[in-house]
Each structure stands twice: as structure tokens, then as C-alpha cells.
Amino acid sequence: MVCYECFIRGQRRDAIGLCHHCSVAVCAEHAEVVAVPITEKVLLVKEIVLPLQARRLFCKICRAAIEQDHVVAQDEAQTVSSREAEPIDVATVPW
Ligand SMILES: [Zn+2]
Ligand SMILES: [Zn+2]
């Protein structure tokens, strides 16, 4: 499997994994691994963070999207109902 980000730039590089969010294959350069807290529910109302963290691999686009700050100006914010579907340039990856 080849890296999608490299592929759309005309390069071929082996992928090391799949983005947890969008499932594209990414190489070491285009992958980012983040620590994920593991929690446990206690007495149905309290949640505690356990000492060991898991890991999760993302492509750079999804990591930036997931960690983006809130929009400051309210009128710039898009809601799900106001957002129209935008065409995206999808290159076909030869798996
Ligand atoms: Zn790559
Ligand atoms: Zn992704």
C-alpha cells in the first residue's frame, strides 16, 4: 500500500498505517501519532483517567481538523445545515 499524500504529489512511498479518522494510507512523513487517554467509569457518574495512554495514528489533515480551535467570529462559522457539499479532488489510489 502506498501513501495517499505522496501519491497525489506524484510520488510513491510505502504506507506505515491508516488514518484513524479518514482511513487513507500514510507514510512516516505524513503520519502523526497522538496519545489517547484511557478512561474508566467509576460509580456510573465519575470518569477517571488511567495512567497508561493508548496511541492513535492520524494523517496531518485529520489531526489539524480534530485539534482546530473554535471559530472566533460567529458569522464565519458554518453549521451542518448551512454547509453545502463541496466537490473534492479524489485521486484513485491503486491498492
Ligand atoms: Zn507520504
Ligand atoms: Zn485522515
Q: How far is the CA of 39 from the centre of ligand 2 (A)?
A: 24
Within a domain: residue 48? yes
- pTM of the predicted model, to two decimals? 0.65
Q: How far is the CA of 79 from the centre of ligand 2 (A)?
A: 21
Within a domain: residue 79? no
pLDDT digit string, tens, across residues 71-95: 665 555 555 555 555 555 555 544 4
Are the beta carbons of 20 and 6 closer than 8 angstroms? no
pLDDT digit string, tens, across residues 28-56: 999 999 999 999 888 877 889 999 999 99
Please give the tally of structural domains in the chain: 1
Within a domain: residue 10? yes
Q: Where are the beta strands (DSSP E) in 1-95?
A: 17-18, 25-26, 31-42, 46-59
Nearest-angstrom CA–CA distance, 77 and 30? 28
Q: How far is the CA of 89 from the centre of ligand 1 (A)?
A: 17
Amino acid in position 83: R
Within a domain: residue 53? yes
Are the beta carbons of 27 and 16 closer than 8 angstroms? yes
Ligand nearest to the CA of 5: 1
Within a domain: residue 89? no
Structural domain including 20 reads 4-68
Ligand nearest to the CA of 32: 2
